[in-house]
Amino acid sequence: MSLLDQYIESYKKLSFSVEYKYDDNILGLVEKSTALLLDEELLPSLELEEAMKQLHVRAKEPMKVAITGQFSSGKSTFLNALLSKNILPTGITPVTSKVNYIRYGNEFRIQVHYKDGRDEYQQIEDIARFTDQRCAVEEIEYLTLYAPLEMLREITFVDTPGLNSQDDTDTITTQRVLKDVDGIIWLSLIDNAGKMSEAQTLSQYMEQYQNKSLCVLNQKDKFEPEQVEQSVSYVKQSFSKYFSEVVPISAIEALLSRSRDKNVIAEEGLDNFLMQISEKLKSEQELDIGKMYQSYKDTVSEAHNSNFVENIKLLKSSNIETVLQFIETQIRPASHSSKAFSITKDIRQTCELIIKQHQFFISIYDEISVELNLFEEEAQKKLTQLKDKFGKALQDAYRKIEDIIEVIADDIYKHITHAIHIRYIEKKSGLFRKNILYEPIEYKGAKIESDKIYKHLFYEDDIVGKMFKIYVKNLKTIQDEVNQHNAEVYKILEDRIQKWQNRYEIIRKHDPLHSNMEFANIRKFASKAYEYMLKPFSDQIHASYAKISSEFNHLSSAVSFNYQNATQVSIAFLEQKIGQSVALYESDPERFSLYTPKLDEIKDRLNSSFHIYELQNMMNTKKTFLSKNYDTLLREFKCIKQDREIFLQSKKARHEKIIKMLQVYIKDIEIDI
C-alpha cells in the first residue's frame, strides 16, 4: 500500500467508500486523481470537474500528429494518402483555412465547431464548404472529421492552415496547435526546400520542435533520384536543428497505391453497403438486399483481382511507409512519455493549486488570530492606563466624601455647648444629724444643638446637600467616561474585525479550478463576523457596563440618599453617650466624669454611620472596584480570545488535513514516476 493509501485510510472523512484498484498507467493515475480531487468533502467546482474530464480524455485519446508547412505544399493530398481516401479538398491556393482534427469515428462525418459555441454535424462530401478559405467560413472555430479508419484509432491527425498563409490569423492558429501535438510533419515541395522564405519560416516557428518533427519533401515523382537525393542531403545539412529526419515522398503515388489496395477497396465497399442499408431504412425505402449484397461482392472481387504487384511497387516508390515508420518508432514512444509527463505535471499543478487555495483559507483565519492578539495587547495597555486614571478619579471622589464628613463633624463640634444640670447630695442636720437634707449642686454638661445643626447643614443653607449633589454629579461624570473608554476599547476590536470582514465578505475565487462552495463558505463566515468574533466581546463589555453601573449607583445612593439620616444617627449616638455619662456622673461623680465629644470622635462616628470603610475599599485603595472590574474584563477577554482561537483552529483543521493529504499525494505521484 502506498503512502497516500495509508494516509487516506486514516483520514476517514476524505477516504473513498469503496476500495478500488487503479491501473498502473497514466489513465489509472488520472482516475485515481479524479476520485481524490472530486471527493465531495473537497467541495470541487464544476470547472475542476471539467478539467479532470479533459485530463481523462487526454489520457485516453490517441497521439496527435500535426501536418503543417508552407501553403501549396500538398498537405491535404498527403493526408489523403495517409488515410487512403480522398477526404480533404485540394487546390492551388491555401485551401485549408481552419484546423481540421481527423479522428476515428464509426462513420464518415464532419463536426463543425462555431465560435459562438454551437456544434453541428455535416456530410463528409460538404467538407470543402467549411475548410476552403475561398468560402465564407469566418464564423467557424475548427472542424473535426470522423472516419472509420483503423489508423485513426491510435493517431489523430491535425491538418493546419500553415505558417505562411495569406491570413495572419491562420499562422497564429497553427502556432497554437504545434505546441499541443505529439509530433509534427513539416511538408515542403522538393523544388522549394531550402529557399529563403522557408528558411525564415523554420527559423521563426520550428526550432523548438526539433525532437518531434519530421520533414517530408513532397513530389519526388517529378524529379530524378539524383536530384531528390541532393535535395534531401541539403535539407538534412541545413535544417538539422529543426527536424529529426528528412524523408522524400510522392503523395500522389501514395494516394494512388493505397486507394487501390484491395483491403482498402473491400473496406470501402463494406462501408458503402452498410451505409446504403442505413439510408434506405431511414427513408423507409424498399430494400433489395440481394442486389445490394451482389454489388458489394463484385467490389470485393474487383479488389482481389487488382494488380497487387503494381500497387506494392507504387507504394514503395512513394516512400510513404517511411513516414508511417517515423510516426510509429519515434513519435509514438515520445508521445506516451510526453503525455505521461504532461498529465502528471498538470495533476501536480492542480493539487498545488488546491493546496494554495486551502493555505489561503488558513491565512484568512490566521489574520483573525493576529487581530485578536493585537487587540489583547492593546486592551491590556489601554485598560492598565484606565485603571491608573480612574483610580485617581475615584480617590478624588472619595476625598470629597471625607471633606463632607469633615464639614459635618466641624459643624457638630461647633454646636456643642454646655447645659446647667443640678444634682442633689445628702446633707444631715440636727443635734444627732438625724435629719437628712438634699443640697442642690450645679454642674455643666455637654449639649449638642442638633436643631441648629440640621437647620444649617440640611434645611436653610443645605450645605451638605449641595456638596453631595456635586459629589453625585462628579461620580456620574466618571461613570460616563468609564463607559465611553470601555466602548472605545471594544471599538478597537470592532474596527479590526470589520476591516477583515470588508475584505473577505465579497471575496471571489482566484482561479477557475478553485471551489465555489469553499469561497462561498468564507464569504458566509465573514458576513457573520459579529456573531462569531465580536459578540462574545460585546457581551462581556455590556456585562462590565452593568456591573460598573451598579457599583456607581451604590456609591451614589449609599451616601447621597442617606447622608441626613447618617448624620442624625451619629448625633443621636453622641447625645446618648452624653446622657449616659451624665447619669453615671450623677451616680458617682468621684468615679465617673462627664463626657464631651471630641472632634476626632465625631469624625469616627460619622465614618461609621456613612460606612466610610466600605467606600474606602471601593474607592481609595489600589484595588478599587474599577480596578477589579478591569482585571476581570482582561481575564474574560483572554478566555474569549482562547475560545475563539480554538474555534478558528477547528475551522483551519479541515483545510490543514486536505493540504496534508494532497502534499502526500504529490509525493506519492513523484514516487510512482
pLDDT in tens, 197-256: 677 778 877 877 777 888 899 888 888 889 889 889 988 888 888 888 999 998 888 888
User: What cell was used for 558?
Assistant: 449609599
What pLDDT does residue 7 have? 47
CATH class of 61-260: alpha beta
Does the pLDDT of residue 671 top 60, yes or no? no
* CA–CA distance, 657 with 4 (Å, rounded to integer): 13
What pLDDT does residue 262 have? 53
Q: Work out the pLDDT band at 14, boundaries 50, 70, 90.
A: very low
Q: Work out the pLDDT band at 648, boundaries 50, 70, 90.
A: very high
Q: Which amino acid is at 547?
A: K
Cα–Cα nearest to 423, from 444, 409, 404, 408: 444
Q: Work out the pLDDT band at 131, boundaries 50, 70, 90.
A: low
* CA–CA distance, 665 with 661 (Å, rounded to integer): 6
Cα–Cα nearest to 404, from 616, 554, 606, 614: 606
What pLDDT does residue 275 have? 62
Instruction: Tell which wins on pLDDT, 21 or 673.
Output: 21
Cα–Cα nearest to 351, from 513, 240, 485, 173: 513
Which tens digits make up the pLDDT trace of 369-391? 999 999 999 999 999 999 999 99
Which tens digits make up the pLDDT trace of 314-348? 888 888 888 888 888 888 887 788 788 888 989 99
Cα–Cα nearest to 509, from 517, 501, 519, 500: 519
Query: pTM for the whole thing?
Result: 0.68
What pLDDT does residue 325 have? 87
Which tens digits make up the pLDDT trace of 166-213? 556 667 777 777 877 888 888 888 887 767 667 777 887 787 777 788
- Displacement of CA 512 from its chain's centroid (Å): 13
Does the pLDDT of residue 285 top 80, yes or no? no
Percentage of the chain modeled with pLDDT above 70: 82
User: What angle separates helix 3-10 from helix 625-672, to the nearest 10 degrees?
Assistant: 140
At 214 the three-state DSSP class reads: strand
Instruction: Tell which wins on pLDDT, 560 or 182.
Output: 182
N-to-C CA span, the chain: 16
Q: What are the extents of the domains in the chain? A: 61-260, 263-305, 346-669
Which tens digits make up the pLDDT trace of 425-468? 777 665 555 666 778 888 898 999 999 998 888 888 788 888 88
Q: Work out the pLDDT band at 94, boundaries 50, 70, 90.
A: very low
Residue 61 CB neighbour total at 10 angstroms:
12
Cα–Cα nearest to 276, from 301, 303, 305, 299: 299
Q: What's the rounded mean pLDDT across residues 271-287?
A: 63
What pLDDT does residue 89 have? 67
CA angle 442, 448, 450 (to 5 degrees): 140
What pLDDT does residue 333 have? 83
What pLDDT does residue 494 have? 94
